[in-house]
Amino acid sequence: MPESYKTCPICKTANPVNASFCMTCGTSLSTDGAGNAHALQMKPSDYEYQYGETDLMERSIHAVGRRYLLGAFVFLVVMMLVGIGIIFAPNLLKNAQQALSEIISEPTLTPSITFIRPTVTVGPPTRTPTATLPPTDTPSPTPTREPCLQTVRTGDLLWDVVVRCGHFSDAVFAQVVEINNLRDAGTIFEGQVLEIPWPTPTVDPNIPTATLDPEAQADTQNVAFEQAFFPTATLLPGIQQHRVVAGENIITIALQYKATIEILSQLNPEVTFSQCDFGLDLGGERCNVMVFEGQLIRVPAPTPTPTLSATPSGSETPTPTVTPTFNAPAIQSPSNRTFFRRDELITLRWSPTGTLGADETYRVNVKNLNTGMMYTAYTQDTRFVISTDWQAKTETLTRHEYEWTISVVNINDTDRASYTTPAFIFVWETGALN
């Protein structure tokens, strides 16, 4: 009699007759013709299911571990090969470059040329014209000039030394100080040998000479010097020129023409008056002015001294009377529309074109254009410091404009001026009311 249930061949569990799968282990069940259940053909397993339920088998776990181990080994081998390549690749590349350069530098075979000698036929010689080349000018090397070496003499300044090498400007001083390792332009001593560079010649276009010898520049006027060092013959009234002779300096010139260093500096703006105190007539002990022999200096023309004429007897020869020099001062500072703060002192400066006469003086005229107040002062100096009494006083800080002129007047008639400068204006802040 056939059984009324199906027995699982795996777990031996009894299942209903119509069951297709085992209710315990899920094995597919089928029946044969006799009604006996049997499991589908499955891959035989080595696992003993009676020891418990699991989803994994020990054999499959070992296979996964072997795959990971093999992958790790392959990765290590690849990394070792990469490291070896990094270490040895530079040497291999260098050897390859050397081999390539040797291959490139190998001389190539140059094909030889085979000359075929012509057949010589005996006969009368043929005349062949020979070309005569014109002679070529071979440029001869220009010898390098030696520097100008000068020995400092007694009483020499650096200016006297550079003049002997053809320089007529103090622009070369800095180069001379650097070449000779001098502390400054004033530290030279007698017997010292100085190296002076030759000046660059500038040819005067009015002179047909094509080439100038630099050594001759000190003794010739064929070089076009700056006009500032050689004033023109056209001078303002009351100014004349003085040519410097050997042994003269700016002090002796000032004493000769009874002028101050300040006046000479105003008449000769092209000359450098270094460290001169214009508050002193001769500029002070540190005043340094470079002048050279033959230089033209503008100086005030001396005023002729009047002489008493003798009582005429009728037989005297008439003598022409010298015309006095006209003095027309020129304003120097402050320049037009200069601004001053309330606590600044203002010094007016001007330069004369001649000397004042015995009965002449300067009249300083200052007018406050805002208030109309007029101020007047007299001086025989060429500068005037404005008193703070002339400064306007207001409660608020404002700016006032002042117009000023300089006049030459007679001390006996100060209302009549022989000459008055053009008006200049300066701006001065007002002072505070006390």
What is the predicted pLDDT for the residue at 216?
43
Whole-angstrom distance, CA of residue 223 vs CA of residue 159: 18
List 393's β-bridge partners, or say none. Answer: 431
Q: Between 230 and 257, whose confidence is greater? A: 257
Q: Across residues 214-226, what is the average pLDDT? A: 40
Cis peptide before 334 (omega within 30 of 0): yes
In whole angstroms, how far apart are CA 91 and each of 86, 94, 97, 100?
10, 5, 10, 14
What is the predicted pLDDT for the residue at 424?
93
pLDDT band at 344 (very low <50, low <70, confident <90, very high): confident
Closest CA to 167 of 189, 142, 150, 190: 150
List 360's β-bridge partners, or say none. Answer: 410
Q: Between 308 and 71, whose confidence is greater? A: 71
> What amino acid occupies position 28?
S
pLDDT band at 193 (very low <50, low <70, confident <90, very high): very high
Q: How many CB atoms lie within 10 A of CB 179?
A: 14
Per-residue pLDDT at 203 exceeds 90? no
What is the predicted pLDDT for the residue at 207?
39
Closest CA to 277 of 294, 267, 289: 289
Q: Between 222 and 276, whose confidence is greater? A: 276
Per-residue pLDDT at 7 exceeds 90? no
Q: Between 23 and 208, whose confidence is greater? A: 23
What is the predicted pLDDT for the residue at 405?
94
In whole angstroms, how far apart are CA 146 and each of 193, 196, 211, 216, 276?
14, 10, 18, 15, 37
Per-residue pLDDT at 226 exceeds 90? no
- 352, with CB counted inside 10 A (0-12, 13-18, 19+), is buried
Q: Is the Cβ–Cβ distance between 167 and 199 less than 8 Å?
A: yes
Q: Is the Cβ–Cβ distance between 232 and 226 less than 8 Å?
A: no
> Across 134-189, where does the E strand assignment appear?
148-151
What is the predicted pLDDT for the residue at 232?
46
Q: Between 35 and 268, whose confidence is greater? A: 268
Buried b (16+ CB within 10 A) or exposed e, 393-419: eeeeeeebebebbbbbbeeeeeeebee
What is the predicted pLDDT for the residue at 402?
94
Instruction: Return the percentage of the chain with pLDDT > 70, whole number.
Output: 67
Q: What is the mean pLDDT of the chain?
A: 75
Q: Is the Cβ–Cβ distance between 400 and 367 less than 8 Å?
A: no
Here the tokens at position 277 are 């105190």
pLDDT, tens digit (0-9, with 9 covering 90-100), for 375-432: 999 998 888 999 888 999 888 888 999 999 999 998 888 888 888 889 999 999 987 7
What is the predicted pLDDT for the residue at 275?
87
Start-end of H helices in 164-260: 173-179, 250-256
Q: Between 114 and 237, whose confidence is greater? A: 237
pLDDT, tens digit (0-9, with 9 covering 90-100), for 145-164: 677 898 998 878 887 888 78
Q: Across residues 31-48, what is the average pLDDT? A: 51
pLDDT, tens digit (0-9, with 9 covering 90-100), for 284-306: 878 889 888 889 888 988 765 55
Highest mean pLDDT among 71-85, 238-252, 260-274: 71-85
Name the residue ranges covered by the structural domains of the chain.
1-42, 148-219, 227-300, 330-432
379 HSE (CA, 13 A, CB side): 14
Residue 140 DSSP label:
P
Question: Which CATH architecture group holds 330-432?
Answer: Sandwich (2.60)
What is the predicted pLDDT for the residue at 98?
83
